[in-house]
């Protein structure tokens, strides 16, 4: 069974990787702005790679902002369109949708709301309903919709880091499994199984991972060597790029990092450690 610690470790590692890439790029940008402006202006031989890095950075920021904005607007619009009425179920504020289909989901980035359908309220018994409410309450408390939006936006913006895409999809899977664990602890395994069977009849079958966890079986362990290799290649490229820019020739710079090439390399390698941990973490995640 996956622990919540694994989810937290995955999220921390994914954000560490994104932060590493962004920080390395920031160092390069600051260096370019502070020391290479004349070179850039004079169209010197060294200006092209710098301009390229700056253009890539601008693109990353634009894609990140656009992705977050697009997803936030979509969620807001959907929330506005849903004809829901407020209700209290098992001491929890929920929004009830007037549809006979069995539905339950959590929507909203900063103040997530729990939506349940009338069909679900009619079909489930009290303990099954408690398990669904516990599951959705866990999503809401952790702000899982916001986490999913950020993970997706990072994967979009840093598309050249394949580990982030894997991390985003693994995060979605593990978030479901973690919410199911809370549901099982709150109401028991049988009520959750009953609730999942109802969703299944309503045309929304549970994923294989959730069914396996419910059956008490360990999810399939998938090797993710490709992710580790991809991450290593990206980090190597970043290191080489940063190292090249930090060379005194042809572009003289005064960053403390450049005064001692060995120290520079050591610092950059250290900076990439969290990302290296992600490669390990991602290859250890269990999902079917
Ligand atoms: Zn869920």
The b-or-e profile of 88-114 (16+ CB within 10 A means b, else e) is: ebbeeebbbbeeeebbbebbbbeebbb
Cα 207–chain centre separation: 19
Lowest average pLDDT, out of 2-11, 99-108, 230-239, 247-256, goes to 247-256
How far, in Å, from the CA of 218 to the mean position of ligand 1? 19
Rounded to whole angstroms, the Cα distance separating 14 from 61 reads 17
pLDDT tens sequence across 189-215 = 999 999 999 998 888 888 887 888 888
pLDDT tens sequence across 98-150 = 999 999 999 999 999 999 999 999 999 999 999 999 999 999 999 999 999 99
User: Residues with Cβ within 5 Å of ion ligand 1?
Assistant: 176, 179
The residue among 47 and 152 whose pLDDT is bigger is 152
Report the percentage of the chain scoring pLDDT > 90: 36
What are the phi and psi torsion angles at 124 (to 5°)? -90, 150
Q: How big is the chain, counted in residues?
A: 288
* Tokens at 203, concatenated: 């045309």
**Top mean-pLDDT range of 50-59, 76-85, 156-165:** 76-85
Mean pLDDT of 79-97: 93
Classify residue 62 as exposed, middle or buried by CB count within 10 Å of its CB (0-12, 13-18, 19+).
Answer: exposed
Which helix (H) or strand (E) segment is 105 a member of? strand 104-107
Residue 177: per-residue pLDDT: 87
Residue 257: per-residue pLDDT: 42
Q: In sequence order, what are the beta bridge partners of 85?
A: 96
Angstrom distances, CA of residue 264 to CA of 242, 248, 253, 271, 274: 10, 12, 13, 11, 17
Angstrom distances, CA of residue 282 to CA of 13, 91, 191, 226, 230: 9, 37, 32, 10, 12
How far, in Å, from the CA of 162 to the mean position of ligand 1? 25
Residue 228 has pLDDT above 80, yes or no: no
Helix axis angle, 162-187 to 273-284, nearest 10°: 50
How far, in Å, from the CA of 51 to the mean position of ligand 1? 44
pLDDT tens sequence across 46-66 = 566 667 767 777 888 899 999
How far, in Å, from the CA of 234 to the mean position of ligand 1? 33
Q: Strand locations in 108-222, DSSP E?
A: 113-117
Rounded to whole angstroms, the Cα distance separating 68 from 145 reads 12
Residue 267 has pLDDT above 90, yes or no: no
How far, in Å, from the CA of 209 to the mean position of ligand 1? 12
How far, in Å, from the CA of 286 to the mean position of ligand 1? 18
How far, in Å, from the CA of 183 to the mean position of ligand 1? 10
Rounded to whole angstroms, the Cα distance separating 63 from 68 reads 9
* Tokens at 15, concatenated: 């954000």
The residue among 226 and 29 whose pLDDT is bigger is 29
What integer best gives the mean pLDDT of the chain?
77
pTM for this predicted structure: 0.75
Report whether 102 contacts 88 (CB < 8 A).
no
Residue 10: per-residue pLDDT: 66
């Amino acid at each position: 069974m996956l622990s919540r610690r694994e989810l937290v470790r995955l999220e921390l590692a994914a954000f560490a990787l994104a932060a590493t890439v962004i920080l390395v790029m920031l160092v390069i940008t600051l260096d370019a702005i502070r020391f290479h402006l004349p070179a850039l202006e004079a169209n010197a031989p060294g200006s092209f790679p710098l301009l390229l890095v700056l253009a890539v950075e601008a693109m990353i920021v634009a894609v990140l902002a656009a992705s977050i904005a697009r997803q936030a607007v979509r969620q807001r619009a959907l929330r506005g369109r849903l004809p829901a009425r407020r209700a209290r179920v098992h001491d929890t504020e929920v929004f009830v949708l007037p549809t006979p289909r069995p539905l339950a989901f959590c929507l909203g980035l900063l103040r997530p709301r729990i939506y349940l359908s009338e069909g679900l309220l009619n079909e489930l018994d009290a303990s099954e309903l408690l398990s669904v409410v516990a599951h959705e309450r866990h999503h809401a408390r952790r702000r899982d919709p916001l986490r999913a939006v950020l993970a997706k936006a990072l994967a979009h913006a840093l598309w050249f880091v394949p580990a982030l895409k894997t991390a985003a999809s693994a995060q979605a899977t593990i978030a479901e499994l973690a919410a199911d664990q809370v549901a099982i602890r709150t109401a028991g395994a049988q009520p959750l199984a009953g609730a999942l069977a109802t969703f299944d009849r309503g045309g929304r079958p549970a994923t294989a991972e959730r069914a396996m966890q419910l059956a008490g079986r360990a999810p399939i362990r998938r090797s993710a060597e490709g992710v580790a290799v991809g991450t290593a290649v990206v980090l190597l490229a970043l290191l080489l790029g940063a190292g090249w820019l930090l060379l005194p020739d042809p572009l003289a710079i005064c960053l403390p990092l450049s005064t001692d090439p060995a120290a520079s390399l050591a610092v950059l390698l250290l900076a990439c450690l969290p990302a290296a941990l992600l490669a390990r973490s991602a290859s250890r995640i269990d999902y079917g």
